[in-house]
Structure 1
Amino acid sequence: MQQKRLPSLSEILILTVLLLGIIFICVHSLGLPIQLAFIACWFVVMGFGKYLGYAYHHLQNGAIAGVNQGMDAILILIAVGALIGSWMAGGIVPNIIHLGLSVMDPALFLPAAFIICAITSLATGTSFGTAGTAGIAMMGIGAGFELPLALVAGVVISGAYVGDKLSPLSDTTVMAASMCQVNLIAHIKSMLYVSVPACVIACLAFLLVGLGFEHDGNTGTAQQVMAAIATHYSIGWYMLLPALVVIGLLMLRLPSFPVICFGALLGVVWAVVFEQTPLVSALDALYNGNFINTDVEFLQILLNRGGIVSMLSVILLVILALGLGGLMASVGVLTTVCNALQNWATNTGRLGLSTMLCGVLGNALGGAAYVSIMTASTITGRNYEQLGIDKRVLSRNVECGGTVTTPMIPWSDGGIFMATTLGVSTLSYLPFMWYHWLVLAIAGLYSYAGWFHYAPLPKVGEQHSAQQS
């Protein structure tokens, strides 16, 4: 029986080049769906695992474990698809867009959208829920003001991840604090040192960029969009109630999946009651999405969307990406790479950077924030103890490298969800995720400068000596 072993860094490099080559050839050269490329990658990694001495059942269990870690995201993808379809049919999202176009100043829209999404995510603790509700409405308003959609998507995602990183209602926030053995409130207070300046700078940057655009006030495309919406939908304050109910229920810390499903059901009720849509057609919007005819081309693209069916290819991609991440973890790829980073981290600067890099690798190879948080906290946590650095610094760096980088990876659950929900590819919105880039830069600066670190803890050896005495 062959002895199992961990892969070397050179073997991992060869494997990575091979996987990237398969994806590039399938997608760019042959024009095949990326899902087929990921299936091929599964078998390559399985073959690599057999070469390292691992049995097939171990590899299969690794893939299944990887998928299981992302089941929350998969369920929310299904619920958000249904919600978008019914909220389009029920007029909820069109009314939010209409209201935003009527009251917002185009020059101030970008910072306003950032703040709205940040408040929503802080109140609900979910970046996915924020993007699927307030986010798609902000995309419509931004389109009405003729702003680049990639820029608007960057603003929305930046705001959505403020709460995902900071809110006590966020599962990633709770998980990071738990994995690092840090009190939840202490963990949040530690992150404020990074998040507050990042929010302020990002908001000012969005303001300056918004002021730099030439706007035609509310007389151009915005008026055309508002007129088209008023033609197809009822307009009134009561049309916003489902959105307020969903946000309120999420604020009460109720589980995201049933709350979003309930919001989708409210969309069906609103479609039947206020839009006079036949019940069967309103229910069909849950699965097949919404459809209207309008002369405003981009509005037709924006509103003719949603439904569970629109998420099926995305769900498959998420499953395959998570399974591939599980396979990579099962053959020791993450362990080898992160051990190398751990051995390199001999001072506070390198330690902070290694924690964030482990988070990025967890997202890139594991496809989910849960994987990145576990990877970054477990692999580098021991070094913080050895260097006598408070675990609140560990938990802060784990969130910076793990949670924040998830939507930056095109094949992670966050990257796939944001690109699909907002209708903008990951590589297009990536340069405009200014909050995320600032968080990484500020956390790195603090690590190398030794700023906002807490009073040094006794090192491991010193703790042992103190206990003996």
Structure 2
Amino acid sequence: FQQDLILELSNKLNGTSATSLTIKDMYHVAMQSISNDTNILTGNAVLDERALFSSSGMTGMLSTVQLIICAMIFGGSMQAMGALRKITQALLSIVSGPASLIGATVASAFGMNVLASDQYLAIVVPGKMFSEAYKEKGLAPENLSRSLEDGGTVTSVLIPWNTCGAYHSNVLTVDVFDYLPYAFFNIISPFMSIAVAALGYKIKYLVGGNKKQKTI
């Protein structure tokens, strides 16, 4: 508990002792730190220039929150009018086997990240659409879950207008296209999922209600 810091933030440092702190002062500082700008100077020119330890508080996040709300409304509207279902059905029309089904799932999840602009919709909507197709192909639900994660979860931060991409860019103060070339896992993961499916490695099947694991 650093009383001097609280005194400084509450503008009461001049001629005031730490023993004169009140609950009102501490509440004022807490609310001010949460809502408004908070700047911490480290003495390191690189860190101070990038403002890694500074924040604009809840007020500075309002633009990101607005983008998230708009993305959720847009995605919900697309789902309600059946546009997302049409896109997914078009992908299902080219499915011929387990490998192509997993590839279509990964592509659909990534496409939802781009079109619906929300990671939640990118996972839930394709998950609902493809669940019956996986059962018809005799594939265990673990395959669907893994494909949704590889195509939807890890790629959401690579889309600037996606809720995850906007949040990460705002918090890190780094543009999405600046950190994208270094996001090796996020870029490689969808391709690895498709490659592993094409090889038939670690694909789980449903057999008489039981699951068996097929390996090379």
Residue 35 of structure 2 is matched in structure 1 by 287
Paired with 2:29 and 2:77, the residues of 1 have a C-alpha distance of 42
- Superposition deviation, residue 373 in structure 1: 1.3
Q: Is the 8 A contact 1:390 1:457 kept in 2?
A: no
More strand by share: 2
1:296 maps to which of 35, 45, 51: 45
User: Paired residue for 2:95?
Assistant: 345
Kept in 2, the 8 Å contact 1:377–1:394? The answer is: yes
Whole-Å Cα distance in 2 between the matches of residues 272 and 365 of structure 1? Answer: 50
**What's the offset of the Cα at 1:275?**
5.7
Structure 2: runs of 5 or more not aligned: 11-24, 210-216
Specify every segment of 5 or more residues in structure 1 that has no aligned partner in the other structure, as ranges.
Answer: 1-269, 460-469
Determine which of 322, 328, 335 is the counterpart of 2:78: 328
- Alignment counterpart, residue 425 of structure 1, candidates 154, 163, 175: 175
Q: Specify the SS of the correspondent of 1:402.
A: helix
Note if contact 1:289-1:306 (Cα within 8 Å) is conserved in structure 2: yes
For residue 330 of structure 1, report the CA deviation from its aligned partner.
2.1
Partner residue in 2 for 1:389: 139
- Which residue of structure 2 aligns with residue 360 of structure 1? 110
Q: Offset of 1:272 from its aligned partner? A: 4.3
> What is the distance in 1 between the residues matched to 2:46 and 2:107?
42
Question: Which residue pairs with 1:413 in the alignment?
Answer: 163
Quote the residue 1:222 is aligned against.
none
- Residue 415 of structure 1 aligns with an amino acid whose one-letter code is G
Pick aligned residue for 1:380 from 127, 130, 136:
130
Higher relative contact order (CA 8 A, sep 6+): 1
Q: TM-score, normalised by structure 2?
A: 0.78
How far, CA to CA, are the matches of 1:295 and 1:275 in structure 2?
23
| Identity, % of aligned positions | 23
Please tell me whether the aligned partners of residues 288 and 307 of structure 1 are also in contact (alpha carbons under 8 angstroms).
yes
Pairwise mapping of residues 200-349 of structure 1 onto structure 2 (< 5 A)? 270=1, 272=3, 276-277=7-8, 278=10, 279=25, 280-291=28-39, 296=45, 298-302=47-51, 303-349=53-99
Q: What is the aligned length?
A: 190
Indicate the SS of the match to 1:388. coil
Question: How well do the aligned residues superpose, as a CA RMSD in angstroms?
Answer: 2.4
For 1:410, what is the secondary structure of its paired residue? Answer: coil
Could you tell me whether the CA contact under 8 Å between 2:138 and 2:205 is conserved in 1? no
1:343–1:428 CA distance, 2 compared to 1 (3 A): same
**2:99–2:198 Cα contact (<8 Å) kept:** yes
| Paired amino acid for 1:334 | L
Task: Return the letter of the residue paired with 2:181.
Answer: P
Q: How does 1:422-461 map to 2 (within 5 A)?
A: 422-457=172-207
- After TM superposition, the score normalised by the length of structure 1 is 0.38
Q: From the superposition, tell whether residues 431 and 295 of structure 1 become closer, same or farther in structure 2 (CA, over 3 Å).
A: closer
